[in-house]
Amino acid sequence: MINVGIVGGTGYTGVELLRLLALHPKVKIKAITSRNETGVNVADLFTNLRGHIDLKFSDPADAKLNKCDVVFFATPNGIAMQQAESLLKAGVRVIDLAADFRIKNVTEWEKWYGMQHACPALVAEAVYGLPEINRELVKNARLIANPGCYPTAVQLGFLPLIEAGVIDINYLIADVKSGVSGAGRKAEVHILHAEASDNFKAYGVPGHRHLPEIKQGLSNVAQKPVNLTFVPHLIPMIRGIHATLYAKLTQRTDLQTLYEKRYQHEAFVDVLPAGKHPETRSVRGSNICRIAVHQPQNSDTVVVLSVTDNLVKGAAGQAIQNMNIMFGLSETLGINQVPLLP
């Protein structure tokens, strides 16, 4: 059994980790930390976990995380970088669901996240945990930087086109919508029901902190810098990411075949038949990314539609997918849930 610790078990990604790991046949959850909820039964705070999680939240100082095989950080940015080094020295593998280790240029990270990095030496070692690109590196990693929700949907959408070299990488557009759970489990005016319901808005147009992460990933694939315009939007639903991606083709290609071949062996990427349009509800509660590719009016513009659940493939599910790879388990173990409908 894999002994698991979770730091930050009271946020949306933390409870999603608990929901998925509770039924994982190879996992024993040893500790769940929360300074604010120390001593509280997990099932009292999250009643959906009654009968599945029989633990209390513990203070991080008392959690004995160094006795775990792997520790997930489901914490705000800036927490994992304070604790990762000591855990790694104790032989514990670390999977960070926040952004502390995603961006390799530490100066760039500090600019976007507004704080000094606590352990820049580990940034170079961290493996960016998008399995569809870095599966082999994930296998032997000690430290995983789990991708963000927006970056997962955008990179998986653009990936086959960039790998095939059939688009102009100097003109990429990502128009992406997210449900309000992407903002986290906290009290902020803009995500109050009266503010977010019956409303639709863009934000972060001058620059969003996921932009450098996406550009880094796509540039690594292209082996040269890409130019990306990224515009996120908030929509009045709880879960879901819908990415509408645009690029200019530089040569004629069978786009449907390109996508089907690229993802034919990927358990968590589903390429829809030609002409279809994926819906966010078709992936709700699952680790699946559904993709459709279109070429409107047979023009030189390609439109890719990519949908995920931001809390699963965009966070907790992908983190467990990485854990499975790291420990030599079947990649789908414990995260092969059928999406929820209606």
pTM: 0.95
> What are the chain's domains?
2-125 (3.40.50.720), 150-310 (3.30.360.10)
Residues labelled catalytic: 149
Mean pLDDT in residue range 244-251: 98
Instruction: Outline where DSSP puts E strands in the chain.
Output: 2-7, 27-33, 70-73, 93-96, 127-128, 143-145, 167-178, 201-202, 228-234, 241-249, 269-271, 289-294, 301-308
- How many whole angstroms separate alpha carbon 221 and alpha carbon 257? 20
Name the pLDDT band for 113 (thresholds 50, 70, 90).
very high
- Output DSSP code: residue 142: S
pLDDT at residue 285 greater than cutoff 80: yes
Both structure tokens of 110: 């500090």
pLDDT digits (tens, 9 = 90+) for 126-151: 999 999 999 999 999 999 999 999 99
| % of the chain exceeding 70 in pLDDT | 99
Q: What is the mean pLDDT of the chain?
A: 95
Mean pLDDT in residue range 274-301: 97
**Alpha helices per DSSP H over 28-119:** 42-45, 80-89, 106-113
Quickly count: other Cβ atoms within 10 Å of residue 81's Cβ: 23
pLDDT at residue 58 greater than cutoff 80: yes
Q: For strand 143-145 and strand 269-271, is the pairing parallel, antiparallel, or unpaired?
A: unpaired
pLDDT recorded at residue 76: 93
3-class SS of residue 168: strand
Helix axes 211-222, 131-139, angle to 10 degrees: 80
Helix axes 149-164, 131-139, angle to 10 degrees: 100
- How many whole angstroms separate alpha carbon 338 and alpha carbon 335? 9
